[in-house]
Structure 1
Amino acid sequence: MSNATSDAPSFNFAATPLSPTPSTVEAFTFTGRGSEYFRIWIVNILLSIVTLGIYSAWAKVRRNRYFYDNTSVAGSSFEYHGNPIAILKGRIIAAVLIGGYQVAIRTNPKIGLLVLIPLMAAMPWLVWRSYQFKLYNSSYRGIRFGFKGSAGQSYFNYLLLPVLSGLSLGLLLPFAHQRTKKYLHSESKFGATHFSFDASIGAFYKIYAICFVIGMLGFIGLGIIFGGSLVALGTAGKHAGPAGFSGPFFLMIFAMYAWMFLIIPLGLTMVQNLIWSSTKLGEHQFQSNLKWTKVFFIMITNLIAIVCTLGLFTPFAHIRALKYRLESVTLLTAGSLDNFIADAEPHGSAAGEGMSDLLDFDLSL
């Protein structure tokens, strides 16, 4: 990970420090290196291509084990126990479901719609089972994580709330975001000890409002600047033709996209800091201290490097981003971490895990 930093002022969006102060502060550390992960990444891609995707299940296990093994807190690393055969079966089921929909929609749009309805209706159930699978196959110090949320809660969070958010033209989106995070965090557990989540709905609305206002002010400012330039061109060069306006117009579009690229790391920073600074494991409190200037620096330099290397920098970019996100989190312990006890937990469904991969969902805690 690069040690370069931006000269721009850094803003700390972490939650207000908690009291009373816990006895020990344990920082998360990530020891993965880009050169190591590049070898895993390139072999995974080549073998997945050669085997027509069959190896992708083993590639996922190999990748996750590398990330888990290199992530540690309080001197111990995490472990991943996913079975590649189970993941492969889940991916086959998911591929059949999605492939059936693709064939149906190309054959007859009406038939495709009829196939899509039950597929979307099954999605919350798959998400729920995927949570169980992912957490059950994660452990720390020999104790597995688990997920106790119900299928009904998943349908509320992943079917009803998205529909209501769309009908409200996005006004309920912060509410839906808070409820889904609360569902995931408060229903997760480590052994027999539950996590808890106390971020308010208002805190999510505040983040969305800040990003919306800053975004709109930027768009308005850019519109005024480039709008004035276009008007000046129209009055000063009436014979320039459409070609004379294309340059400023496309420059304005580029500037608006660049402004959005500034807003995205700001939103990601505030959301991660809010979510993890509002999460506890029993009496142990998490705290996140991302800085948006560094998130932006990592994002923009990663993008430039990936483009310049025709994608070969991708694994290095993944390591840089993950390392900073993980090492910005600390665990404020209220006692010994050796007092957790194991608990029985459902294994979950590899079909849900396979579906989440095919649809590029990030369901990890």
Structure 2
Amino acid sequence: MTIDIAQENPGSTKRSYILFSGGSFFGRIMTWVTLTIATLGIYRFWAMTGLRRSLWSATHLEGDHLRYHGTGKELFIGFLIALAILIPFYALGFGLQFMGPIATIVGFGIMFVVGFLLTPYALFRRRRYLLTRTSWRGIRFHMQGSAWRYVGAWLFWTILSVLTLGIALPWRMAKLDRMLAEASYFGNQRFSYSATAKDYFRALVLVFVILFFPGIIALLAAIFTQGKSLALLPIVLVLAVFLMPLAMASIFRLQVNSTKIGDASFESHIGASKFYGAYIIHGVIVGVGISIVGAVGTLLAVTVGVQLEPQSGFFSLAFLPVFALYYGVLLFANMMVLQVMLFEWKMSSMVVINAHSVKDAIAAGDLENAVGMGLADTLDAGFEVI
């Protein structure tokens, strides 16, 4: 059931807690992983659809759960269309590598530019697809606006962040998050976003003070001392790994607390411990899983014969089950921990204030095709829920 705290006055502030009740995902994920491996990755479009559908239906607000309307078939078709768009560019870039050093540089440049330009385009279209496949109380979410306008802002602020050695990063994050939010709708109710660059800097202040500025100093020192100060960089990398979950928790709280849909607003008080816990559990599962896979591989090598050459086709065929197990371990850990576990913790941490204010929302917006999702999948090939 959903827990509501309200005053007797119907017009007063009402806080509704999001409840996540999805039961055990272990069996479902094992099935999806097995089918994905058995079909050489083709089933992952249906696996991702099944995962989203399960997570959405497990998320309840005021007695009603979210619904996911996407299908694996449209994701697969979108992926094929994305491949048809990208393959000519990458084929050209790859072919130029056989025409001399200058042509090789041009070829790499073509592949980089295409990927660099299409990444923000795919991110915008991916979000629009997911919103139009999500509904609550029969009303779908959707997005308006130009994906290419978002591409322009993404390119400008990304390049500026690089040129300023990261100083412009809070402004970049505030601008891009605001653009995505303000292009989003629940029916005819528009999202609004209040976070500023100053808010992002406050959320990332520890990262800047403990990691970012020392990292720049270490990098500059390494350059001016001709690499003699490279020993400082591993320390920076260790700090990055340690601080990343803390920064992710701060940014997530800021994004949630800054978002409104009409008069409905959101709060999240999720702690960094959830993110640390998720990545520790993920690391343990991957570590144990890879150890088991390594033991199986060693046993197979001894059984088949260590005299086999790695270049031989028989060697590759004989060790195909090992490669499949390795991929399965990574896929299971990603879906079970980084997707299901983190999603549940994020949703369960959220409170919606005045959710009843959008009860009169009217259906609006058009469905988005799956090409953007296909591009995002092609460029990343990851299992990301949202």
| TM-score when normalising by structure 1 | 0.75
Distance 2:241 2:115 in 1: 33
Task: Tell me the equivalent position of 2:81.
Answer: 93
Given that residues 153 and 183 in structure 1 are in contact (C-alpha distance below 8 angstroms), is that contact kept between their aligned partners in structure 2?
A: no
Q: Deviations over 1:117-154 (max 9, x none)?
A: 34543444433332322111111111100101223431
Q: Secondary structure at the match of 2:142?
A: strand
1:364 CA displacement: 6.9
Task: Tell me the equivalent position of 1:348.
Answer: 368
Task: Rate the CA distance shift 1:157–1:216 in 2: closer, same or farther, 3 A.
Answer: closer
Distance 2:344 2:177 in 1: 22
Count of residue correspondences: 314
Task: Tell me the equivalent position of 2:343.
Answer: 322
Q: Deviations over 1:261-282 (max 9, x none)?
A: 3211110111011111011111
1:326 CA displacement: 1.4
Task: Tell me the equivalent position of 1:281.
Answer: 261
1:86 CA displacement: 2.0
Q: Secondary structure at the match of 2:352?
A: strand
Task: Rate the CA distance shift 1:308–1:97 in 2: closer, same or farther, 3 A.
Answer: same
Given that residues 185 and 279 in structure 1 are in contact (C-alpha distance below 8 angstroms), is that contact kept between their aligned partners in structure 2?
A: yes
Task: Tell me the equivalent position of 2:219.
Answer: none
Q: Which of the residues 240, 248, 253 maps onto 1:260?
A: 240
Gaps of 5+ in 2: 1-10, 97-103, 217-229, 291-328
Task: Tell me the equivalent position of 2:206.
Answer: 210
Distance 2:58 2:89 in 1: 39
Task: Tell me the equivalent position of 1:157.
Answer: 153
1:47 aligns with 2:67: no
Could you tell me which amino acid in structure 2 is paired with residue 305 of structure 1? I
Distance 2:25 2:269 in 1: 26
Distance 1:118 1:182 in 2: 25
Given that residues 260 and 266 in structure 2 are in contact (C-alpha distance below 8 angstroms), is that contact kept between their aligned partners in structure 1?
A: yes
Q: Deviations over 1:204-245 (max 9, x none)?
A: 12223331213369989xxxxxxxxxxxxxxxxxxxxxxxxx
Given that residues 132 and 346 in structure 1 are in contact (C-alpha distance below 8 angstroms), is that contact kept between their aligned partners in structure 2?
A: no
Task: Rate the CA distance shift 1:293–1:219 in 2: closer, same or farther, 3 A.
Answer: farther
Higher relative contact order (CA 8 A, sep 6+): 1
Q: Secondary structure at the match of 2:47?
A: helix
Q: Secondary structure at the match of 2:60?
A: strand
Trace 1:139-154 onto structure 2 (pairs within 5 A): 139-154=135-150
Could you tell me which amino acid in structure 2 is paired with residue 214 of structure 1? I
Task: Tell me the equivalent position of 1:306.
Answer: 286
Q: Which of the residues 168, 174, 177 maps onto 1:172?
A: 168
Task: Tell me the equivalent position of 2:276.
Answer: 296
Q: Secondary structure at the match of 1:66?
A: helix
Q: Secondary structure at the match of 2:336?
A: helix
Could you tell me which amino acid in structure 2 is paired with residue 144 of structure 1? R
Q: Secondary structure at the match of 1:286?
A: strand
Q: Secondary structure at the match of 2:198?
A: helix
Q: Give the percent of matched residue pairs that are identical in Structure 1 and Structure 2.
A: 24
Given that residues 356 and 362 in structure 1 are in contact (C-alpha distance below 8 angstroms), is that contact kept between their aligned partners in structure 2?
A: no
Distance 1:53 1:278 in 2: 38
Task: Tell me the equivalent position of 1:29.
Answer: 19
Task: Tell me the equivalent position of 2:67.
Answer: 79
1:338 aligns with 2:334: no
1:29 CA displacement: 1.8
